[in-house]
Amino acid sequence: MENSLSLTEENYIKAIFQIGTTPESNVSTNALADSLQTKPATVSDMIKKLSYKKLIFYEKYKGVALSESGSKEALKIIRKHRLWEVFLVNHLNFKWDQVHEIAEQLEHIKSSELVNRLDDFLGNPTIDPHGDPIPDAKGRVQLGPSKLLSEMTSHEKGIIVGVKNEDPLLLQHLDKINIRLGLQIEVTEVNDFDQSMQVKLPDLGIIFLSKKITSQILITKNS
Amino acid sequence: MENSLSLTEENYIKAIFQIGTTPESNVSTNALADSLQTKPATVSDMIKKLSYKKLIFYEKYKGVALSESGSKEALKIIRKHRLWEVFLVNHLNFKWDQVHEIAEQLEHIKSSELVNRLDDFLGNPTIDPHGDPIPDAKGRVQLGPSKLLSEMTSHEKGIIVGVKNEDPLLLQHLDKINIRLGLQIEVTEVNDFDQSMQVKLPDLGIIFLSKKITSQILITKNS
DNA sequence: ATTAATTTTTAGATTAATCTAAAAGTTTAG
DNA sequence: CTAAACTTTTAGATTAATCTAAAAATTAAT
Ligand SMILES: [Mn+2]
Ligand SMILES: [Mn+2]
Ligand SMILES: [Mn+2]
Ligand SMILES: [Mn+2]
């Protein structure tokens, strides 16, 4: 079973998982090259290898999608990434904008025993510090339905449950304006011209948010 | 400062540190090949690279020794290895025979912020689960004087403070016969013929130990 | 002090991951 | 439906880490 993936292979599998919205949608060579900060030629070579190893389905010029075993691997890596992020924030007092890079390294540590013990140690968390769901040991994720703040209309209410990406500058800005997961939020006004919003938050009162920010914040679907 | 070492380079630096007893003693190409489970030809290539990077002193056919910066790197890696071992044993409930392999991976995670926060989280431990001293953030180690149990004579007393290597089979055997760090031990008899010993331990009474085991157990020098 | 044994280095290949440049295939626009 | 634009693949090189086989240097034994 010479099974174990190289660090590079793991990063490709994870990127394919994260770019492909549905398991169906094929991921393009260029999208992968962008995401992995490499060149399309490099990607072409690597997807041939992953295809040979049956981790992905691949037809020339038609992009790739993860196979069953590919998805399983991706979920294992994502599980590790997010559990380590919880550890870093909850136990080592890192801020949510500081953990992604370190978790990018820790997600490649190979020991299922370690992951499962870490999971228990952390109290089997279901979401990571950014609101992303943590797959369980069998790869199952429970994802509450959510929508973007930018998709909400005036007078709608909800609870902030996540952020769409982990750009440290975004996260630091959210810290600065005191926005964090779990807050009740109410849209008080939407400006059609630039889609900026005014929203009401507990204690903070009414604050102004640009489209750039509202399009990164996830809100519960039914509140 | 394109400074950062590759995983392979780190493993060489660590091996050189651990084989070289004193900073003076040169480490041979073959010793490194053995320790790193590779071939002498491979080692010859790598030490040229490390020498070029000024991490080691090297003269052809005369072996290598770590430079100041090489030693610093080695101590950083060892610090990480041992801190992670403490984490695994104290917080994830691993046994002392299960942690070395995982720590071999974790020691390569790059983030000084992480190491220092981990150190604090663990309560700034000074020894790892095998009794080995943990270098502090500046690379300083405080090593209490110790000797091997096999070097003790009849009626000598001491406290078990460490094990010389981390072979899981040795560690499991010590568990089985209830030997662990911190125990008071007294040599009751030494058999000259095979250098086996009888020793007295609290609660356990008198037990028999072969030379193979007594030569792996470290005891306080002055009790 | 030669010779034999051992150690170390060099020479030449291989594999994984990467790149640039060019060729081939697919999509989009007139 | 062709032609331009874009995407993807192939061809050929490069770098890090590794190997085997052979040459060179050192060390040990007569
Ligand atoms: Mn992350
Ligand atoms: Mn996250
Ligand atoms: Mn260890
Ligand atoms: Mn140890």
pLDDT tens track for B69-97? 999 999 999 999 999 999 999 999 999 99
**How distant is the Cα of A91 from the closest Cα of chain B, in angstroms?**
7
Question: Which residues of chain B, if any, have pLDDT below 70?
Answer: 1-2, 23, 223
pLDDT score at A221: 87
CA atoms within 13 Å, Cβ hemisphere of A163: 22
**Would you say the C-beta of B40 is within 7 Å of strand C?**
yes
**Both tokens of residue A126?**
């279901």
Contact B73, B67 (CB under 8 A): no
Spell out the SS3 assignment of B67-135: CHHHHHHHHHHHHHHHHHHHHHHHCCCCCCCCCHHHHHHHCCCCCHHHHHHHHHHCCCCCECCCCCECC
Domains and CATH numbers, chain A: 7-70 (1.10.10.10), 147-222 (2.30.30.90)
Chosen for mutation from A97, A101, A111, A112 (greatest number of chain B CBs closer than 10 Å) is A111
- A18: helix, coil or strand? helix
Cα-to-centroid distance, A202 and ligand 1 (Å):
28
pLDDT score at A204: 87
Of A residues 15-44, those with CB within 7 angstroms of nucleic strand C are: 37-39, 41-42
State the average pLDDT for chain A.
95
A117 interaction partners in chain B (CB closer than 8 Å): 92-94
Spell out the SS3 assignment of B23-65: CCCCECHHHHHHHCCCCHHHHHHHHHHHHHCCCEEECCCCCEE
**How distant is the Cα of A121 from the closest Cα of chain B, in angstroms?**
6
CA–CA dist B38, B42 (Å, integer): 7
CA–CA dist A20, A27 (Å, integer): 6
Per DSSP, B22 falls in state S
Nearest CA in chain B to A113: B94
CA–CA dist B152, B208 (Å, integer): 15
pLDDT at A118 over 90: yes
Residue A132, C-beta contacts closer than 8 angstroms, at least 6 positions apart:
A82, A162
Contact A191, A169 (CB under 8 A): no
Task: List CB-based contacts (under 7 A) with strand D.
Answer: A 28-31, 40-41, 43-45, 47-48, 58, 60-63; B 6-9, 38-39, 41-42, 45-46, 49, 61
pLDDT score at B1: 57
Residue B37, C-beta contacts closer than 8 angstroms, at least 6 positions apart:
none
**Both tokens of residue A132?**
């992303």
**Both tokens of residue A139?**
């790869």
Q: Which residues pair with B187 in a beta bridge?
A: B199
Distance of CA A167 to the CA centre of its chain: 11
pLDDT score at B196: 96
CA–CA dist B180, B195 (Å, integer): 21
Which residue has the closest alpha carbon to C7 C1'?
Answer: B30
Which helix or strand (DSSP H or E) is residue A212 part of?
helix A211-214
CA atoms within 13 Å, Cβ hemisphere of B148: 12
Nearest to A147 by CA among A157, A137, A139: A157
Q: State mean pLDDT over A139-157.
A: 94
CA–CA dist A134, A167 (Å, integer): 19
CA–CA dist B26, B32 (Å, integer): 11
Nearest CA in chain A to B93: A117
Q: What are the b/e assignments for A99-137, b being 16+ CB within 10 Å?
A: bbebbebbbbbebeebbbbbbebeeebebbbbbbbbbee
Nearest CA in chain B to A121: B92
Q: What percent of chain A has pLDDT over 70?
A: 98
Nearest CB to B106: which of A91, A93, A109?
A109
pLDDT score at B221: 87
Per DSSP, B153 falls in state -
A105 touches chain B (CB under 8 A): yes
Which region among A30-34, A72-76, A131-135, B24-28 has the lowest average model confidence (pLDDT)? B24-28
